[in-house]
Amino acid sequence: MITDAHLHIGLNNWTEERLLHYLDEQGIEKAWILTWDEQDPVAPPYYPPLDIEAVSKAFRAHPDRIVPFYAPDPGRKDWKARLQSRLDEGFAGCGELKVAYRWNDPRVTALLEFLDARRLPLVFHMEQGRRMFIPRRETGPDWLFKRLINERFNGKAAQLIGNLEQKTGFLRHYLESRMVDFPGYLMDFDLLREAVSNYPGITFISHGPHTWNNFSVVRHPHLFIQKGKTSGEGILWELLEKHDNFYCDISGFTAFTALNRDKEFTRRLMQRHHRKILFGTDNWELGLKDFLSGLLLEKEVMEHIMHKNAARITGDYS
């Protein structure tokens, strides 16, 4: 049996029909369907609000296959009522929490207290802060600099342009009028450690670029995605080792990139922490199942990663 523990309706233009086709095509019996709610997005061009009603509709139509999650922005005044109404409907937990707050922000700690009291799982997204270019239009120089600074060349172009601006003043007024300080999503690891320790009733499930950049020791902090040869066990290993209530999922492009850096290193992670890792794709069809099969992991290891861990978290397997 397979559970994909990280999927969305609306991301990458996936409709409910497209999602179900994917599940059938890949032989996936259950899917965790997550939302994204950010009340005041720091970077609006990169925020696709994921409709909670679409998740609810899919759950009602396919309760045997859809495991729904909802994470309201805890900055909303009515976040608690919003979340409680979905839990009453049968939602399994909170996710995907992807907000530009810190773990010790009072808005986040209020949510954690709520989840801890109810012993609910939390799927969250970690992403490192950086300077971002927010275009005023999607044409001309704005189109170009948005891609160079935010999207292309894995952070190298952003560093080069930033250094050029600082040293020469080249395009300073233009860039400063469009640059914002993106604080990151749910930074940093020191505060995360405190949260995981302080709220033992929550199953924390980490996801996102900052999670998987710390798969190995970070050597090039300016890069959006760490690539190349691994350089020792990163913070992710430590958190999985030390905290019973800390898990991660292997979904998304950044996770897939990290796992492919060193297959033997990845195999050791899977073997050592196979009861703490969840299979998921995040609407990316990258061949993750085939990659895992190629690692030649033991049957028990694969069963936990592919289904049993997710089922245990949501109460379907002891």
User: According to the model, what pLDDT value does residue 297 have?
Assistant: 97
pTM of the predicted protein model: 0.96
Domain positions in the chain are: 3-129+183-313, 133-180
Q: Helix H segments across the chain?
A: 16-26, 52-61, 79-89, 106-118, 140-146, 156-168, 172-176, 189-198, 209-213, 235-242, 252-259, 263-272, 288-294, 299-303, 309-313
User: According to the model, what pLDDT value does residue 146 have?
Assistant: 96
For residues 100 and 42, what is the distance between their CA atoms, to the nearest angstrom? 7
271-284 burial, b if ≥16 CB within 10 A, otherwise e? eebbebbbbbbbbb
Residue-wise pLDDT for 173-224, tens only, equals 999 999 999 999 998 999 999 999 999 999 999 999 999 999 999 999 999 9
Residue-wise pLDDT for 258-299, tens only, equals 999 999 999 999 999 999 999 999 999 999 999 999 999 999
Backbone angles phi, psi at 28, to 5 degrees: -100, 120
User: According to the model, what pLDDT value does residue 318 have?
Assistant: 35
Question: Which of the four pLDDT bands, split at 50, 70 and 90, describes residue 161?
Answer: very high
List of long-range contacts for 177-181, beta carbons under 8 Å, 24+ apart:
178/133, 178/134, 178/135, 178/136, 178/142, 178/145, 179/131, 179/132, 179/133, 179/134, 179/149, 180/42, 180/43, 180/131, 180/132, 180/134, 181/129, 181/131, 181/132
CB 99 within 8 A of CB 75: yes
CATH 3.30.420.10 fits 3-129+183-313, yes or no: no
65-87 burial, b if ≥16 CB within 10 A, otherwise e? bbbbbbbbbbbeeebeebbeebe
